[in-house]
Amino acid sequence: MPGPIQTVAETLNSQIPLEGFLIVAAVMFAIGAWGAVIRRNAVVVFMCVEIMINAVNLTLVAFADFLPDAGGIGASYAALIIAIAAAEVAVGLAIVLAIFRSRRTVNIDEVNSMRG
Amino acid sequence: MPVTGAAIIGLLPEIIASVFMFVVLLGGVFAGERNSGIVGGLAVLGTLATFASAAVLLAIGFEGTFFGESYAVDNFALFFKLIVSGTAFFTVIAATRFAGSTGDAPEYMTLILAVVLGAMLLASMRDLFGLFLALELATIPSYALVAFDRSRRESAEGGMKYLVTGVIASSVLLYGLVLIYGVAGSANLTQVAEAFSGELTPVGLVGIGLMVSGFAFKLSAAPFHFWTPDAYQGAPTSAAAFLSVAPKAATFAVLLRILVEGLPGATATWTSIIAVIAILTMFVGNLSALRQRNVRRMLAFSSVAHSGYILVAFAAIQGGGQETGVQAILIYSAAYAVMNLGAFFAIDLVGEDAKSFNGLFKTQPALALCMGAFMAALVGIPPFSGFFGKAWVILAGAQSGSVLVYAAVGALVINSVISLPYYFGIVRNMFLEEPVSGGTAPKDDGGVRFSVYALAILTTIFILFFGLLVTLTGASGLL
C-alpha cells in the first residue's frame, strides 16, 4: 500500500497521454473560433484567430512528439506556422489601420457600405 | 534529401517568378515613382518568362518528384502553372496604368508576382504543410491586393472582410491538415494514401471535413462564399479579375491532388460531401447574381456559381468518371480563366453599373462584341470557351454512375438556365438600349483594352486549342 506522497510522485512521473493534448487543443480551437465569430472588434477577432492557430500548433507538436517516425519534422513545421500567423496579423493590422484612418472605427459590423 | 540538378530545372518557373518579384521591387526603387511603365514592363517580362519556362517544360515532357517526393513537377502541375502565369501576364498589362496612378506600382506588381509564385508552388505540392505554406503565400498578398486602392473606401473594407474570413478559414484548413498528418504519421501524400486506405477513424473523418470546409472558403463555395462579393467589389478591377482566376485554379489543383493522390481510399466520403457543396454553391451563386445591379458584384456571384460547376467535376471522380472528371477540371479551369478575366477587365473600360453598358454597341462596337463573347462563354454557349468546360463536366458526371452526381449534373443544367437573365441582361443593355448621355466614361486605358481584345479572341477560338487540351489533359499524369 503506497503512501499518498508516493502516489503523487507516480502521477507526476507518468506520461500524459496524447489524447490529453488533443482535447486541450480542440477546446482551445473551439474557444478561438467562437470568439472569432461573435466578437465585433477586428483586433479582438485577430486575437481569437491567434488562439485558433496556437491550438493547431499544440496539436501538431503533440503529434510530432508521439508519432514514431515524424519526430523533429513536425516541430519544425510548427515554427513555420508561427511565422505564417505573424505574417497574417501583420497584413491584418495594416488593413485595420487603413480602415480606422478613414472611418474612426474597427467594428466589423459598422464597416459595411457594400450590400446585396 | 539531396537537391539534384533536375530539381533546379523543374523549379525553373518558380525561380524565374521569385527573381522577378525582387527585380520588380528593386527596379521600382531605381526607376522612381514617375516611371511606372518600367515597372510594368519588368512585370510583363517576368510573367512572360515564367509562362515560357513552364511551356518549355511541358513541351519536353519534363516529369519528376523532388525533395523526398514532396514536390511533383508533372503535366498536371505544369498545366496549372501555364494558367496562372498566363492570367498574370494579362493582369499586369491591364494593371500598369492603375498601379502607376496609385504611386505604388512596384508594390502592386510585386504582390501579383508573389501570388503567382504561391499559386505555382501550390499546383506542385505533395506535402500537407508545404501546400499550406504555398497557399498562404498566394493568399496573404491577395489580402493586400484587395485593399490596395486607397482612393476608394470600399477597397479597405473589402480587404478587411476578405482577411477576417480568410484567416479563420486558413486556421480551420490547417487544423484539418494537422489531424490528417496525425492520423497518417506523415505529411507526404503517398504515406497519407496508405494510412487512409482502410476504414476511416473518427479523427481522420474530422480532419477531412475540416480540410474540405477550409478549401470551400478559399474556393468561395457555399455556404462559405459570403466574402466573395465584398472582396471583389472592393478590390481594384485587375486584382479582382486575377484573384477570381489564378489562385482559385491553383487551389482547385491542389485540392484535386490531395483528394486523388492522398485520399483515394476515402473517395466515397469526399465525393458525396463535395456533390452537396457543389449543388448548394451553384444555386446560391446564380440566385444571388440575379439580383445584382452592380456588374462587379454580379461577376463575383457568377464566380461563386462557376466554382460550383467545377466542384461537380470533383464529385464525378468516381466509378467510370475518374479520368474524364480530372480532364473536366483542367479544361474548365482554362476556359474559365480566359472568359472571366476578360469580363472583369471590361468593367475598367465601361463602368461597374449595369446601366453604363447601355448602348455600348453604338459607341464602342468592338468592346461590345468582346463583352458579348465573354457573357456567351460564361453562359456556356458554343463555340465559346465555357461551353467546352461545361460539356466535359456533364460528360464526366454521366460516366460517374452515382445518383448524387446525376442530381448535381441536373442542377448544373438548371443553373445554366437560371444564369441566362443576368448575363444576357448585360448583352441586352449593350445592343438594344440607347446610350446614357452625360455619364462620366472611365478613362481609356490601352493596356486594359489590349487584354480585353486578346482574351475575347482566345475565348472565341478556344475550339482550336481544344484538341490540344484534350490530349494534354488526358495525359495529365495525376491518375
Phi, psi of B65 (to 5 degrees): -120, 140
Nearest to A95 among B163, B179, B292 (CB): B163
**Model pTM?**
0.94
In a domain, A11, yes or no: no
Query: What are the respective helix, strand and coil percentages of chain B, to the nearest 5?
Result: 80, 0, 20
CA distance B122 to B133: 9
CA distance B479 to B303: 28
What is the interface size between A and B, counted as CB pairs within 8 Å? Answer: 115
Check if the beta carbon of residue B371 is closer than 8 Å to that of residue B430: yes
- Nearest alpha carbon to residue B126 among B175, B62, B190: B190
**pLDDT tens track of chain B, all 479 residues?**
677 888 899 999 999 999 999 999 998 888 776 777 889 999 999 999 999 999 999 999 888 888 888 899 988 999 999 999 999 999 999 999 888 888 888 999 999 999 999 999 999 999 999 999 999 999 999 999 999 998 888 899 999 999 999 999 999 999 999 999 999 888 889 989 998 888 888 999 999 999 999 999 999 998 899 999 999 999 999 999 999 999 999 999 999 999 999 998 888 889 999 999 999 999 999 999 999 989 999 999 999 999 999 999 999 998 888 888 999 999 999 999 999 999 999 988 888 888 888 888 988 899 999 999 999 999 999 889 999 999 999 999 999 888 999 999 999 999 999 999 999 999 999 999 888 765 556 677 889 999 999 999 999 999 888 888 888 777 666 75
CB contact under 8 A, B147 and A98: yes
Nearest to B326, CA basis, from B472, B219, B187 = B472
Residue range(s) defining the domain that contains residue A80: 17-103
Please report residues of A whose CB lies closer than 8 A to that of B140: 84, 87-88, 91
Judge whether A84 lies within some domain. Answer: yes
Type of residue at B209: G
User: B interface toward A at CB cutoff 8 Å?
Assistant: 129, 132-133, 136, 140, 143-144, 147, 150, 153-154, 156-161, 163-164, 167-168, 170-172, 174-175, 178-179, 181-182, 185-187, 203, 229-230, 233-234, 291-292, 294, 297
Q: Give a yes or no: residue A32 inside a domain.
A: yes
Q: For residue A24, tell me if it sits in a domain.
A: yes
Nearest to A63 among B157, B178, B291 (CB): B178
B65-88: burial string, b at 16+ Cβ within 10 Å, e else: bbbeebbbbbbbbbbbbbbbbbbb
* Three-state secondary structure call for residue A95: helix
The string over A5-29, giving b where at least 16 C-beta atoms fall within 10 Å of a residue's C-beta and e elsewhere, is: eeeeeeeeeeeeeeeebbeebbebb
Tell me, yes or no, whether A115 lies in a domain: no
Beta-ladder partners of A107: A41
Residue B442 contacts residue B348 (beta carbons within 8 Å): yes
In a domain, A57, yes or no: yes
Domain boundaries, chain B: 263-479
Say how many domains are in chain A: 1
Q: Under an 8 A CB cutoff, do B160 and A112 touch?
A: no
Assembly ipTM? 0.92
Is A112 part of any domain?
A: no
Q: What is the CATH number of the domain that holds A96?
A: 1.10.287.3510
Partner-chain contact B136 A63, CB within 8 Å = no
Asked if residue A29 belongs to a domain, the reply is yes
